[in-house]
């Protein structure tokens, strides 16, 4: 997604005659790059989710994928080619929200720390990474939860799935446990997600500070 982001950003800067891009335009570029990247990576993400969940299921319900390639093969053989994009809707929305929160806020924070506060390179990277990690987690966690629930669900004895779609999953979660349960689920995954986004931004993004 970073590759798509940089290509789109460079095109936008050229169209803007080299001037810094406004936050709204950065957010739109992040949304677009996230959507493209998610569409391409959705099959691999589906295989990863199913392999992670498999060991938690009863023995009779396990798919017993050997590796990611075997998982992709089995999905196509058992469910058809289009099944590779099962859950692609919430995956795309999650990636769009993640990119909008992480990448747009990172670029904006870099400009803020460097131009407004006169921070050095290390301080700029650390500060911008902390800000972008916060917004990435805040924007993507609800969609991340729904995406995972959709991708790991299996049909019951009658061939019916627990959720009919992303909206149904969100509504059932709220209905079964209320807003407090939904917030607790998000809180439980907050720390891990925030640290993951923070480290992911800090390690590769220093190259973009100049």
CA dihedral of residues 45, 147, 51, 204 (deg, nearest 10):
40
What local confidence, expressed as pLDDT, does residue 208 receive?
Answer: 43
Residues 19, 22: Cα–Cα separation, whole Å: 9
Q: Which residue has the tokens 């058809």?
A: 80
CA dihedral of residues 102, 103, 105, 106 (deg, nearest 10):
100
The predicted-structure confidence for 23-47, as pLDDT tens digits, reads as follows: 888 888 888 888 888 888 889 988 9
Q: Looking at per-residue confidence, does 147 or 187 come out higher?
A: 147
The model's pTM is 0.59
Residues 78, 61: Cα–Cα separation, whole Å: 15
Query: Model confidence at 54, in pLDDT bands (50, 70, 90)?
Result: confident
What local confidence, expressed as pLDDT, does residue 76 receive?
Answer: 93
180, with CB counted inside 10 A (0-12, 13-18, 19+), is: exposed
The predicted-structure confidence for 160-208, as pLDDT tens digits, reads as follows: 888 888 888 888 877 876 666 656 655 655 555 555 555 554 444 443 4
Alpha-helix runs per DSSP H in the chain? 2-15, 23-54, 68-79, 88-99, 105-111, 121-152, 166-205
């Amino acid at each position: 997604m970073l590759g798509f982001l940089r290509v789109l950003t460079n095109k936008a800067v050229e169209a803007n005659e080299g001037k810094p891009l406004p936050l709204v335009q950065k957010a739109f570029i992040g949304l677009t790059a996230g959507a493209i990247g998610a569409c391409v990576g959705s099959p691999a993400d589906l295989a990863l989710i199913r392999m992670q969940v498999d060991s938690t299921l009863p023995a009779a319900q396990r798919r017993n994928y050997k590796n990611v390639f075997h998982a992709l093969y089995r999905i196509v053989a058992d469910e058809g080619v289009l099944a590779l994009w099962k859950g692609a809707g919430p995956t795309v929305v999650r990636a769009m929200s993640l990119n909008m929160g992480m990448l747009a806020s990172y670029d904006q924070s870099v400009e803020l720390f460097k131009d407004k506060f006169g921070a050095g390179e290390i301080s700029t990277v650390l500060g911008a990474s902390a800000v972008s990690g916060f917004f990435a987690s805040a924007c993507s966690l609800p969609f991340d939860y729904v995406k995972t629930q959709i991708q790991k669900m299996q049909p019951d004895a009658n061939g019916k799935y627990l959720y009919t779609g992303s909206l149904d999953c969100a509504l059932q979660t709220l209905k079964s446990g209320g807003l407090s349960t939904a917030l607790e689920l998000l809180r439980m995954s907050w720390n891990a997600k925030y640290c993951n986004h923070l480290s992911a931004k800090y390690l590769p993004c220093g190259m973009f500070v100049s």
